[in-house]
Structure 1
């Protein structure tokens, strides 16, 4: 008798028969490098806990972060080296045993990643001696001996993975790593059997798949990650993608995984400004050409999104990497119909991909436990305490909910009429609508764990001097007002007024301060029309993507079309450095490109001389200049709101200061939530 379909998500929780094995559902934790891989034995112990928690959370399959098959392939040289010897098998066995022990039906696959021209090794290899724009080191053109050694390294790594208890491997053939550079003429200028025609250029990726399949036998999952749309004008044509996909299937791949970018491409694919499931249609087209199951990915962050993708026939498996950082119990909550309890990935990248690009241990802004499971745990409190938390911004919410989850009696005071703090501003910025999900999550957790929430309740020190075991002050920040002559002119407004819409900017706007909030305000006041983050067609037009026609790389010959507000905008900063230099590495460039396309003037090295009816007078490069604006928006930093803490800490014990109230530089939700969670874990 066939099993009854799942009551909530029938496609998402349908098993997938692979012939020699079965996936219990269509939820894949996609590959994400954690930084733990480079730590050796300690890192593998931590990875075991990290992956096991996701396995217990109900995912059907996990793909690890990228693992180098030999020394030349490493993204970063490490003392522990690549996975190329039996000596490392016990380290990996810790991970696979932990996953299978936590959930015997969960499969785990090792991603084999040869970085090629992106490698930071002493001897990076590539099909041709052409440097990547994001790696200054020029790679060495591979000889026949190099190619043979590399094929052997892939096979050896896959064999070791099988010995270590992995259920399969993923071969990454995209993103500008080695295999993908063989495929494109721009990076493969060889004239031998490995270059020239497309049939020759795809010879090496096919040889890798064949060698791996021969090495591991038939009862082992082999996933190939194909560059389905590189987002570069000199990328692959649709016909080439199909040709490669069919050939890889014939070479022995069990599953095809679609990837949608090279690292140097100038199109966002992973940030919060990208619509949910924006690229799934590309996978759907390729799925019609192949007979093996296909994985789709990118900005699938809630179960209803994944269910729709599967129901529409766009994929067989949905990959969700960052969502599993945000909530390891994602799948179990979806299975049990508790979607409102999912801690949703908001695609901010601040603690995950930004950390990875900076060589730091990966974590998650909304879940600081990610990759820290062996050190940060929320165990039941031995002695429940009465805790007052003042301020329901990210820091206060994290602390209050985590403390209540542990069994403490928590009262959360908030002077305004809503929780969320500065997240209520962020969600109003086009491209940051996902921030509403975090507020929704905390609202549900307040209900679930019985936090006594008191809105519209300003607090004075006398209320908290007695009756509480601990007092947490998370009163956040207030905007800083710079000392500029004429700063009290009627044309001047604060960023909160601009974002909340209590005052309408005029036709010529100067934004003082080009940090994160300055860029957000510039995005808001220069924007017109629907948010691209909520509309795939608008997103495609703004970034010059043709999903339907699929020209080379998805973008060849397509001109970005940006709708802009009918106003002139100046984004100004005091520092002489390039505007936007301090923005995050994985998302900052998208903000700068978007503002440039809307005609925003970005001026560095500004000295603010005065404000009057004529506008804002500045000095740049020793030249005095009048900007004839009718609106000036202040985004000139913040100051901690800590008066309550100062008064209480003199009057009583057990007073704690967290979040922006403790340190007000850039508004830093990552730090605030981490502080709140760690403090609550210590009570």
Structure 2
């Protein structure tokens, strides 16, 4: 059987047949209007159905009235309401458009940490036991559920499910994972009740089984029910896989048709979904659940590549694969696999920029798919072909320039894409050496540019205004990359200093200006190995040897996103100290990744020194100063590595704009002072620019 073909086989959940094994996991993407389904949300789900997903799940259908409230848990405000009949038309719109493309639809019934019985009551934080902290942002619970209130809650679930059925939803999912309310009853960590809803496995499962019974009562025995559960909640004294294996048969007796298996609470001390979590870290939990049920089971935590999906299907880890962020990155993933072109799949780089927005109540965004953020307001290039074909010159083949070229080409324009380097990708070529998660994105851009015959790629080509004019373009998009933030201190040009621009040049196969034989040997070795990323990564991490351009003892100047990434990537067999002038490290890292990243580099032995600035580089190392006390210290080291990020870079743009007044500047070159622009901002800029032509 050809690779990935098992993913295309049909699967039945209850009486509902899915056309393939791809499941778009439910996510609260914050595209609602006062809990109502919007055009943007319908479009979001339709794009995934059109892209071939077998089962599309509507994230967070809230079962209790939240109108005119201010939830402490911000994500609640982005949920779809299903507590009233007025929401049925919105759910029907989603079901209808997905069905048109052959996808089935599930609605995830949800209650996070706050609840009220009616719209007349205050929205308060609830829990099974008042002695355990509630979820993120919520604090200690204000109320412990009474048995009378539990009965009301169960009725709310039953009524919500009935509305979903009336809207044409195919499957009901009950969210019983990640530390939300149903999971808080299931978990020994959060449920300390002594009545019939606490204690034994049967009692802790009672809320869930009563909800299942009520849904069968309101929707009929033939309505398929899917349970999403954290098989290990990762909380101290909480449920381990052994507890879940005991719970599954108890719950299943009440009529369950499939299991979606995840891990953790949102507040768990161990990261679950971050980039630092190895892909497939939790798939074995699903494999173990399969030992106690004959119903379909699929894992759905930290999975984003087709190779991992293939492993899950072929090695018995699951009967389907659940992904959320990958289908945000590329809604066409399933179709591309079915067409035999998996190399064209746009990869999720697990940067968590989507979750950064979602967790503070802002609409979903994506570093590699700007349409998610722009939505129906801007639309897709396929939906908006150019009224008049133009010749568009794009200067710079980084992520912003590549995206601008791609979008302009799809819309029908002739594109000339120019870069002074010998390859596309821009700063991503350096980033992929430091971070292997970026490598698939660089490969994607290389494949994508080949797909469009109306893109002419000119590499190893420097341009100025005269060169652009000679191309006779109708429109010009300038994406030159940001200027490297420079340091002006004594000794900064010493032989023991490595600047981020030096590594960038080396990754582009060039010897940085002013560098000697060691660098020439390193670049020659890279070229001899075909310029492979693996060899460059190996070379940078060598602590000794003929191509060791970074020594054993390193001071990294800059504790923002770039500096911490460098420190984490190069800390093996090295002593690394990161200095940062600001009080807090991690500028440019979002809420999801910041603390885990800082904790990770600490755990790897990296010394972090905030409120510290470089004042001089000597032959012995880095002379630094505490910005509060003025005290100076010499940090002895072999290498001082500057990694301060980038700043505005408008020189080329200003020159070109004098000749082409309508030229558009995008990407890192537009970075405001004090801000950090990353792949997301570059891709968004390229998308917007090309859609505006």
| TM-score of the alignment, normalized to the shorter chain, above 0.5 | yes
For the pair 1:412 / 2:409, whether they are aligned, the reply is no
CA distance in 2, matches of 1:636, 1:599: 21
Q: 2:577 aligns with which of 558, 570, 576?
A: 570
The 1:647/1:582 distance shift into structure 2, 3 A limit, reads: closer
Residue 341 of structure 1: aligned partner: 344
Verify the 8 A CA contact 1:387 1:409 in the aligned structure 2.
yes
- What secondary structure, in the 3-state scheme, does the structure 2 residue paired with 1:49 have? helix
Structure 1 position 299, deviation (Å) = 3.4
Verify the 8 A CA contact 2:28 2:78 in the aligned structure 1.
no
Structure 1 position 496, deviation (Å) = 4.2
Q: 1:241 aligns with which of 244, 265, 273?
A: 244
> Within 5 A, what are the aligned runs for 1:412-561?
412-429=417-434, 432-450=435-453, 451-466=455-470, 467-497=472-502, 500=507, 501=540, 504-527=549-572
Verify the 8 A CA contact 1:498 1:504 in the aligned structure 2.
no
Residue 661 of structure 2: aligned partner: 653
CA distance in 1, matches of 2:592, 2:39: 28
CA distance in 2, matches of 1:118, 1:142: 10
Verify the 8 A CA contact 1:340 1:441 in the aligned structure 2.
yes
Q: 2:18 aligns with which of 15, 23, 33?
A: 23
> Within 5 A, what are the aligned runs for 1:127-276?
127-129=128-130, 130-132=132-134, 134-139=136-141, 140-276=143-279
- What secondary structure, in the 3-state scheme, does the structure 1 residue paired with 2:253 have? helix
Residue 109 of structure 2: aligned partner: 112
The 1:496/1:521 distance shift into structure 2, 3 A limit, reads: farther
CA distance in 1, matches of 2:564, 2:78: 40
CA distance in 2, matches of 1:299, 1:181: 22
- What secondary structure, in the 3-state scheme, does the structure 2 residue paired with 1:610 have? strand
Name which structure has the greater RCO, CA cutoff 8 Å, separation 6+: 1
CA distance in 2, matches of 1:627, 1:9: 52
- What secondary structure, in the 3-state scheme, does the structure 1 residue paired with 2:87 have? helix
Q: 1:544-584 CA deviation, whole Å, 9 max, x = no partner?
A: xxxxxxxxxxxxxxxxxxxxx2x3211111112x3236521
Residue 548 of structure 1: aligned partner: none
Residue 619 of structure 1: aligned partner: 625
Structure 1 position 38, deviation (Å) = 4.5
Structure 1 position 456, deviation (Å) = 0.8
The number of residues matched between the two structures is 632
Verify the 8 A CA contact 2:182 2:208 in the aligned structure 1.
yes
CA distance in 2, matches of 1:268, 1:137: 20
CA distance in 1, matches of 2:686, 2:162: 44
Residue 534 of structure 2: aligned partner: none
Residue 95 of structure 1: aligned partner: 94
Structure 1 position 266, deviation (Å) = 2.9
The 1:494/1:81 distance shift into structure 2, 3 A limit, reads: closer
Tell me which moved more, 472-481 or 489-498: 489-498
The 1:471/1:34 distance shift into structure 2, 3 A limit, reads: same
CA distance in 2, matches of 1:579, 1:318: 36
TM-score by length of 1: 0.88
Q: 1:483-536 CA deviation, whole Å, 9 max, x = no partner?
A: 223322322211244575375222221111111110011112213xxxxxxxxx
Q: 1:679 aligns with which of 665, 689, 692?
A: 689
- What secondary structure, in the 3-state scheme, does the structure 1 residue paired with 2:350 have? coil
Verify the 8 A CA contact 2:178 2:229 in the aligned structure 1.
no
- What secondary structure, in the 3-state scheme, does the structure 2 residue paired with 1:309 have? helix
Structure 1 position 268, deviation (Å) = 2.9
CA distance in 1, matches of 2:327, 2:445: 18
CA distance in 2, matches of 1:302, 1:613: 46
Residue 535 of structure 1: aligned partner: none
Structure 1 position 117, deviation (Å) = 6.0
CA distance in 1, matches of 2:482, 2:214: 58
CA distance in 1, matches of 2:156, 2:328: 30
Verify the 8 A CA contact 1:84 1:153 in the aligned structure 2.
yes
Q: 1:602 aligns with which of 605, 608, 612?
A: 608
The 1:436/1:162 distance shift into structure 2, 3 A limit, reads: same
Q: Mark the runs of 5 or more structure 1 residues left unpaired by the alignment.
A: 528-564
Residue 365 of structure 1: aligned partner: 367
Verify the 8 A CA contact 1:399 1:676 in the aligned structure 2.
yes
CA distance in 2, matches of 1:118, 1:661: 47
> Within 5 A, what are the aligned runs for 1:30-49?
30-41=25-36, 43-49=37-43
For the pair 1:66 / 2:51, whether they are aligned, the reply is no
The 1:680/1:503 distance shift into structure 2, 3 A limit, reads: farther
The 1:407/1:213 distance shift into structure 2, 3 A limit, reads: same
CA distance in 2, matches of 1:526, 1:436: 20
C-alpha RMSD over aligned residues: 2.2
Q: 1:84-129 CA deviation, whole Å, 9 max, x = no partner?
A: 111221122221122223x2x311111111112699x831110011
Structure 1 position 670, deviation (Å) = 0.5
- What secondary structure, in the 3-state scheme, does the structure 2 residue paired with 1:526 have? coil
In the TM superposition, structure 1's runs of 4+ consecutive aligned residues that sit over 6 Å from their partners are none
Structure 1 position 79, deviation (Å) = 10
CA distance in 1, matches of 2:587, 2:671: 22
CA distance in 2, matches of 1:24, 1:336: 15
CA distance in 1, matches of 2:114, 2:64: 14
CA distance in 1, matches of 2:286, 2:7: 17
Residue 525 of structure 2: aligned partner: none
CA distance in 2, matches of 1:24, 1:491: 59
Verify the 8 A CA contact 1:23 1:107 in the aligned structure 2.
yes
- What secondary structure, in the 3-state scheme, does the structure 2 residue paired with 1:361 have? coil
CA distance in 2, matches of 1:581, 1:184: 36
Residue 541 of structure 1: aligned partner: none
CA distance in 2, matches of 1:334, 1:366: 19
Tell me which moved more, 219-228 or 73-82: 73-82
Residue 375 of structure 1: aligned partner: 377
The 1:145/1:118 distance shift into structure 2, 3 A limit, reads: closer
- What secondary structure, in the 3-state scheme, does the structure 1 residue paired with 2:416 have? strand
- What secondary structure, in the 3-state scheme, does the structure 2 residue paired with 1:94 have? helix
